[in-house]
Amino acid sequence: MERLEAERRRLEANLAQLTPAEMIQPGCVGEWSAKDVLAHLADWEGRMVPWVEASRRGEAVETPEPGLTIRQLKIVNARIYERHRDRTLEDVLAYFRDTHRQFMEMVVYWTPKAGQPRKGGLDSSEDRRSGQWDSSGDDTMPSTRPMWYWTSSSAARVTARPAGSTGSRIRC
């Protein structure tokens, strides 16, 4: 959780250095602007809450989208881009921050404090047998660990160059 919070602080500090015009300038990632990248990150992060909630209810979760597999991420990502490309920068920033707030509330809720049992009373042996938890580290969330690291590392790539440097201030 500390890594998520640190990466988010770093990303927000970098975003604060960009002007609105820079954030909507294409070319951050391919033809995507920084705004498009933020919408993309928010869309993926926003999927986590319903995925985890459905998993906790014992429901099957079809990821990344119904009818698609992880090998079809280009299709999923193109759909995400199309869904958000016409949104205003202000709308995307609000969505980006609200989605992250909801995600972090979920992380805090499902992460036990030191010495406390996990939510739902599952111990780690039950968790491993059920396959619902990632027990490869000290994470206590259902198997979302790869998404946390992908989100934090991808989000951190949207950075502003220092004033006085040559070239675009946007680096993704």
Q: How many folded domains does the chain comprise? A: 1
pTM: 0.71
pLDDT in tens, 56-110: 889 988 888 999 998 999 999 999 999 999 999 999 999 999 999 999 998 888 8
Q: What is the mean pLDDT of the chain?
A: 76
The domain that holds 166 is classified in CATH as 1.20.120.450
- Is residue 134 predicted with pLDDT exceeding 90? no
SS3 readout for 73-131: HHHHHHHHHHHHCCCCHHHHHHHHHHHHHHHHHHHHHHCCCCCCCCHHHCCHHHHHHHC
Q: Residue 63 is part of which domain span?
A: 2-171
Q: How confident is the model at residue 165 (pLDDT cuts 50, 70, 90)?
A: very low
- Is residue 6 predicted with pLDDT exceeding 50? yes
Do the beta carbons of residue 168 and residue 161 sit within 8 Å? yes
- Is residue 37 predicted with pLDDT exceeding 80? yes
Of 30-44, 88-102, 140-154, the least confident = 140-154
Do the beta carbons of residue 124 and residue 134 sit within 8 Å? no
Q: What is the mean pLDDT of residues 32-38?
A: 96
